[in-house]
Structure 1
Amino acid sequence: MNDPLDHAELNAALHNVHRAGMPGVFAEVRDGEEVWRGAAGVADLATGRPVTADMRHRVGSITKTFTAAAVLQQVENGLVGLDTPIGRYLPRLVPGELGDAITVRMLINHTSGLADYLPYAYPSLKAFPSLADTTPESLDDNRLTRFHPTELIGMGVAARPAHRPGGTPGTYSNTNYLLLCQLLEKVTGLAAEQCITENVIERAGLTDTELPLGPEIDGPHAQHYEAWFGMIDPPRDFSVFDMSWVGPAASLISTVADLNRFFRLLLAGEIVTPLSLAQMQRTVPVVSFEGKLVDYGLGLHRNQVPDRGTFWGHDGSAWGAGAISMTSADGTRQMSIAVNLQRWNRLDASGKPQPHPLDGAIAALHRVALGVGSAEDRRGHL
Structure 2
Amino acid sequence: MRSHTRLAAACAAALALVVSGTAPAHAQDDHAATQNLLNRYLAQAGPGVAVHAGNATSAWTLTAGTAQFGTNRPITAADHFRIGSQTKTFTAAVVLQLFDEGRVELDAPVERYLPGVVTGNYDGRVITVRQLLQHTSGLVRDVRDPRANPDGTYALAELVASAMDEPRQSAPGTAIAYSNVGYMVLGMLIERVTGQSAGEAITNRVIIPLGLEGTSFPAPRTRGMPDPYLPGYGGGRVGGFYLWIDTTTTAELSRWSTSGNMASTLDDLVEFYQALGEGRLFSAEALAEMRRVVPVGEAGAGLGVDRVPLPCGGVAWGRTARCPPGTRR
Smaller-chain TM-score bracket: 0.7 to 0.9
Distance 1:222 1:189 in 2: 34
Q: Choose which of 304, 315, 320 in structure 1 pairs with 2:320.
A: 315
Indicate yes or no: 2:277 matched with 1:267: yes
Indicate yes or no: 2:261 matched with 1:256: no
The alignment partner of 1:315 has SS state of coil
Give the aligned partner of residue 26 of structure 1: 50
Q: Any residues of structure 2 matched to 1:101-250 within 5 Å, and which?
A: 101-121=126-146, 145-167=152-174, 169-213=175-219, 214-227=222-235, 234-240=243-249, 241-250=251-260
- Residue deviations 1:181-204 (CA, integer Å, cap 9, x gap): 111111111110010111112222
AA partner of residue 249 (structure 1) = S
- Residue deviations 1:274-303 (CA, integer Å, cap 9, x gap): 1101100111146xxxxx996211000110
AA partner of residue 162 (structure 1) = Q
AA partner of residue 173 (structure 1) = S
Give the aligned partner of residue 103 of structure 2: 79
Q: Which ranges of structure 2 fall in alignment gaps of 5 or more residues?
A: 6-22
Q: Which moved more, 1:177-186 or 1:85-94?
A: 85-94
Distance 2:117 2:236 in 1: 32
Give the aligned partner of residue 135 of structure 1: none
Q: Is the 8 A contact 1:94 1:157 kept in 2?
A: yes
AA partner of residue 308 (structure 1) = G
Give the drift of 1:148.
1.6
Distance 1:54 1:76 in 2: 32
The alignment partner of 1:299 has SS state of coil
Q: Is the 8 A contact 2:4 2:314 kept in 1?
A: no
AA partner of residue 90 (structure 1) = L
Give the drift of 1:212.
1.1
The alignment partner of 2:309 has SS state of strand
Root-mean-square deviation (Å): 2.9
Q: Is the 8 A contact 1:225 1:235 kept in 2?
A: yes
The change in CA–CA distance for 1:229 and 1:189 in structure 2 (over 3 A counts) is farther
In the superposition, the TM-score normalised over structure 2's length comes to 0.81
The change in CA–CA distance for 1:50 and 1:29 in structure 2 (over 3 A counts) is closer
Q: Which moved more, 1:180-189 or 1:313-322?
A: 313-322
The alignment partner of 2:123 has SS state of helix
AA partner of residue 156 (structure 1) = A
- Residue deviations 1:223-252 (CA, integer Å, cap 9, x gap): 21124799xx72422111321111121111
Indicate yes or no: 2:300 matched with 1:295: yes
Distance 2:318 2:268 in 1: 13
Q: Is the 8 A contact 1:71 1:184 kept in 2?
A: yes
Distance 1:271 1:35 in 2: 23
Give the drift of 1:7.
3.9
Q: Is the 8 A contact 2:256 2:324 kept in 1?
A: no
Give the drift of 1:164.
1.3
Distance 2:106 2:44 in 1: 44
Distance 1:206 1:219 in 2: 15
The alignment partner of 1:27 has SS state of strand
In the superposition, the TM-score normalised over structure 1's length comes to 0.70
AA partner of residue 233 (structure 2) = Y
Give the drift of 1:321.
4.4
Give the drift of 1:47.
4.6
Q: Which moved more, 1:313-322 or 1:151-160?
A: 313-322
Give the aligned partner of residue 14 of structure 2: none
AA partner of residue 306 (structure 1) = P
Give the drift of 1:206.
1.3
Give the aligned partner of residue 37 of structure 1: 61
The change in CA–CA distance for 1:274 and 1:229 in structure 2 (over 3 A counts) is farther
Q: Which ranges of structure 1 fall in alignment gaps of 5 or more residues?
A: 123-143, 287-291, 323-340, 342-382
Q: Is the 8 A contact 1:59 1:318 kept in 2?
A: no
Give the aligned partner of residue 289 of structure 1: none
Give the drift of 1:174.
0.7
Give the aligned partner of residue 328 of structure 1: none
AA partner of residue 274 (structure 2) = R
Alignment coverage as a number of residue pairs: 296
The alignment partner of 1:199 has SS state of helix
Q: Choose which of 66, 73, 85 in structure 1 pairs with 2:90.
A: 66
Give the aligned partner of residue 9 of structure 2: none
Q: Is the 8 A contact 2:92 2:304 kept in 1?
A: yes
